Amino acid sequence: MTNANPHRPIRGGAKAPAALPKRGGVGLKPEHFRHILDAQPDIGFFEVHAENYMVAGGPFHHYLERIRADHALSIHGVGLSIGGEDPLDELHLDRLAALLARYQPESFSEHLAWSSHGGAFFNDLLPAPYHAGTLARVCAHIDRVQERLGRRMLLENPATYVEFEASTMTETDFIAEVVRRTGCGLLLDVNNAYVSCTNHHRDARAYLRALPLAAVGEIHLAGHAREVDAAGAPLLIDSHGAPVAEAVWALYDFALSLVGPQPTLIERDNDLPAFAVLAAVARQAEIVMARHAKLEVAA
Amino acid sequence: MSAAFADALLRPDAPCPAGLKTWNGSDPAQRFAVYRNNVIVSLVDALADSYPVVQALVGEDFFRAMAAEFARGNPPRSPVLAWYGAGFADFVADFPPAAGLPYLADVARLEWLRVEAWHAADADPVPLAEVGACLADEAALPALRLTLHPALRLLRSAHPVVSLWAAHQAEDVSAALGAVDFADAEAALVVREGLDVAILHIEAGAAEFVDKLLRGAALGEAAQASGPFDLPAALGLLLRSGAVVAMTPSRRAP
Amino acid sequence: MQKALTAASFAIAFGTAMTLAAAPVAAQDKMADKEKCYGVALKGKNDCKAGAGTSCAGSSKMDYQGNAWSMVPKGTCEKTASPTSPTGFGQLKEFKEKKA
Q: Does A202 touch chain C (CB under 8 A)?
A: no
Q: Which of residues 138-167 of A touch C (CB under 8 A)?
A: 159, 161
Does C54 sit within 8 Å of A237, measured CB to CB?
yes
Question: Residue range C49-77: average pLDDT?
Answer: 62
Q: Which of A227-231, A269-273, C13-17 has the lowest mean pLDDT?
A: C13-17
Q: Which residues are A226's β-sheet partners?
A: A236
- Chain B positions touching A117 (Cβ under 8 A) are 2-3, 5-6
| Domain tally, chain A | 1
- Alpha-carbon distance B233 to nearest alpha carbon in chain A (angstroms): 26
Q: Which residues are A25's β-sheet partners?
A: A45, A265
User: Is pLDDT above 80 for A34?
Assistant: yes
Q: Does C76 touch chain B (CB under 8 A)?
A: yes
Residues A80-101: tens digit of each pLDDT: 999 999 999 999 999 999 999 9
The pLDDT of residue C90: 41
Q: Is residue A12 part of a domain?
A: no
User: Is pLDDT above 70 for A237?
Assistant: yes
Q: Is residue A255 part of a domain?
A: yes
Does A123 sit within 8 Å of B46, measured CB to CB?
yes
Q: Is residue A5 part of a domain?
A: no
Q: Which of residues 64-93 of A touch C (CB under 8 A)?
A: 76, 78-79
The chain C residue lying nearest A123, using CA atoms, is C46
Phi, psi of A191 (to 5 degrees): -65, -45
The chain B residue lying nearest A232, using CA atoms, is B26
**What is the C-alpha to C-alpha distance for residues A61 and B122, in angstroms, rounded to an integer?**
10
Given the cut 0.85, state whether the ipTM is greater than it.
Answer: yes
Does A270 sit within 8 Å of C51, measured CB to CB?
yes
Identify the CATH number of the domain in which residue A114 sits: 3.20.20.150
Question: Residue range A202-225: average pLDDT?
Answer: 97
The chain B residue lying nearest C82, using CA atoms, is B182
The pLDDT of residue C2: 55
Does C20 sit within 8 Å of B239, measured CB to CB?
yes
**What is the C-alpha to C-alpha distance for residues A70 and C46, in angstroms, rounded to an integer?**
24
**For all residues of chain C together, what is the average pLDDT?**
63
- Alpha-carbon distance A15 to nearest alpha carbon in chain B (angstroms): 29
Does B81 sit within 8 Å of C45, measured CB to CB?
yes
Residue C3's pLDDT band (cuts 50, 70, 90) = low
**DSSP strand E in chain B: where?**
20-21, 145-148, 153-157, 186-193, 196-202, 244-248
Chain centroid, CA B210 distance in Å: 17
Does C49 sit within 8 Å of A241, measured CB to CB?
yes
The pLDDT of residue C5: 77
The pLDDT of residue C4: 65
Does B150 sit within 8 Å of A56, measured CB to CB?
yes
Q: Is residue A39 part of a domain?
A: yes
Are the beta carbons of B140 and B218 closer than 8 angstroms? Answer: no
Residue C18's pLDDT band (cuts 50, 70, 90) = confident
Q: Is residue A4 part of a domain?
A: no
Does A52 sit within 8 Å of B24, measured CB to CB?
no
Q: Is residue A30 part of a domain?
A: yes
- Low-confidence spans in chain B with pLDDT less than 50: 253-254
Residues B46-66: tens digit of each pLDDT: 999 999 999 999 999 999 999
Are the beta carbons of A225 and A195 closer than 8 angstroms? Answer: no
Question: Rg of chain B over CA atoms, in angstroms?
Answer: 23
Cβ burial of B122 (10 Å; 0-12, 13-18, 19+) is: middle
DSSP code string of chain A: ---S-TTSPPTT-PPPPPPPPSSEEEE--GGGHHHHHHH----SEEEEEGGGG-SSSSHHHHHHHHHHHHSEEEEE-S-S-TT-SSPP-HHHHHHHHHHHHHH--SEEEEESSEEEETTEEEEEEE----SHHHHHHHHHHHHHHHHHHTS--EEEPPP-S-EETT--S-HHHHHHHHHHHH--EEEEEHHHHHHHHHHTT--HHHHHHHS-GGGEEEEEE---EEEE-TTS-EEEE--S-SPPPHHHHHHHHHHHHHH-S--EEE---SS---HHHHHHHHHHHHHHHHHHHHHHHH-
For an interface test with B, the pick among A131, A161, A239 (most B C-beta atoms closer than 10 Å) comes out as A161
User: Is pLDDT above 60 for A263?
Assistant: yes
Does A241 sit within 8 Å of C48, measured CB to CB?
no
The secondary element (H helix, E strand) that includes residue C38 is strand C37-38
Encode burial over B192-227: b for 16+ CB neighbours within 10 A, e otherwise: bbeeebbbbbbbebbbbbbbbbeeebbbbbbbbebe
User: Is pLDDT above 70 for A65?
Assistant: yes
Q: Does B178 touch chain C (CB under 8 A)?
A: yes
Are the beta carbons of B119 and A58 closer than 8 angstroms? Answer: yes
The pLDDT of residue A1: 40
The pLDDT of residue B168: 95
User: Is pLDDT above 50 for A7?
Assistant: no
Comparing CB atoms, the residue among C48, C49, C56 nearest residue A227 is C56
Residues A148-177: tens digit of each pLDDT: 999 999 999 999 999 999 999 999 999 999
More confident residue, C63 or B79: B79
